[in-house]
Amino acid sequence: MSVTTSPALSAPAIALREVRKVYGSGEAAVTALDGVTIDLPPRSFTAIMGPSGSGKSTLMHVAAGLDRPTSGEVAFGDTELTHLSERRLTLLRRERIGFVFQAFNLIPSLTVAQNIALPLRLDGRRARRSELREIAGRVGLQDRMRHRPAQLSGGQQQRVAIARALITHPEVVFADEPTGALDTRTGQGVLGLLRNLVDGDGHTVVMVTHDPVAAAYADRVLLLADGRVAGVLDAPTVDDVAEQLAHLGG
């Protein structure tokens, strides 16, 4: 099943064409993605869902240039990723992509400001104080800049992780189960923040989740099963997502 955007929309932020990803070989081979063709529109919020083993994380990793497809093509904007060197892929991820994970992955010994600035520091750059304050303010942490992770709640730590992902001004933010370690209320705050990255700032957000409530924050849900696109929900509701997942066994 192919998924495309309306002709009225601009070129996709990410495009996959007949992408296959196979792990192992011979009788032990496992096909994680099986001929996936999708367009992810710019300035949109897409949720990727499906049963365990359906290929959700593999799809995200391939789309983000973290893993190479076995066959097919992956384009990030106007850049075709499939034949890029590892060095150029690393630079692309560093400069144009932000990542948010279920585990916050903060450095315990660093302050909030230092954790946010880490991607720039690793790139040999220094973050301006005004830039750090602006990014921290967007995630509601302007009064926590000197705190360390242990002094923050789980939701605040995830907000630091989101700010860290935004400090490089990425075109696309990939979020892998970003609310999986949070309680319901805190998770909704993080989801509202991701939603605002699209509506307020024009970012593209791609989120892997198992939660129908989280998926309902997205513009569109891609449903995967056995490495293939099994369905698409536009303007999803919690009930619609739950019903479709039940049919897929998710």
Distance CA 89, CA 211 (A): 31
Q: What is the pLDDT of residue 6?
A: 42
pLDDT level of residue 102 (50, 70, 90 thresholds): confident
Dihedral over Cα of 81, 87, 93, 96: its sign: negative
Cross-strand bridge partners of residue 40: 14
Number of compact structural domains in the chain = 1
CA-angle at 122, arms to 120 and 123, nearest 5°: 60
Q: What is the pLDDT of residue 14?
A: 95
Residue 70's identity, in one-letter code, is: T
Tokens of 34: 């099986």
Cross-strand bridge partners of residue 97: 172
The secondary structure of 11-43 as a DSSP string is S-SEEEEEEEEEES-GGG-EEEEEEEEEEE-TT
* pTM of the predicted structure, to 2 decimals: 0.89
CATH, residue 84: 3.40.50.300
Closest of 203, 202, 233, 231 to residue 219, by C-alpha: 233
**Mean pLDDT of the 132-137 span:** 91
**Mean pLDDT of the 132-152 span:** 93
**Mean pLDDT of the 73-83 span:** 92
What single-letter DSSP state applies at residue 185? H
**Mean pLDDT of the 228-249 span:** 92
Contact 135, 166 (CB under 8 A): yes
Convert the pLDDT of each residue in 168-186 to its tens digit. 999 999 999 999 888 888 9
Q: What are phi and psi of 4, to 5 degrees?
A: -125, 165
Contact 201, 173 (CB under 8 A): no
Tokens of 240: 């619609």
Distance CA 195, CA 188 (A): 10
**Mean pLDDT of the 40-51 span:** 95
Cross-strand bridge partners of residue 76: 14, 79
221-240 burial by CB neighbour count: b if 16+ within 10 A, else e?
bbbbbebbbbbebeebeeeb
Q: What is the pLDDT of residue 109?
A: 96
Distance CA 153, CA 28 (A): 43
Convert the pLDDT of each residue in 152-165 to its tens digit. 999 999 999 999 99
Task: Find the domain containing 203 and state its range.
Answer: 2-248
Distance CA 107, CA 85 (A): 29
pLDDT level of residue 250 (50, 70, 90 thresholds): low
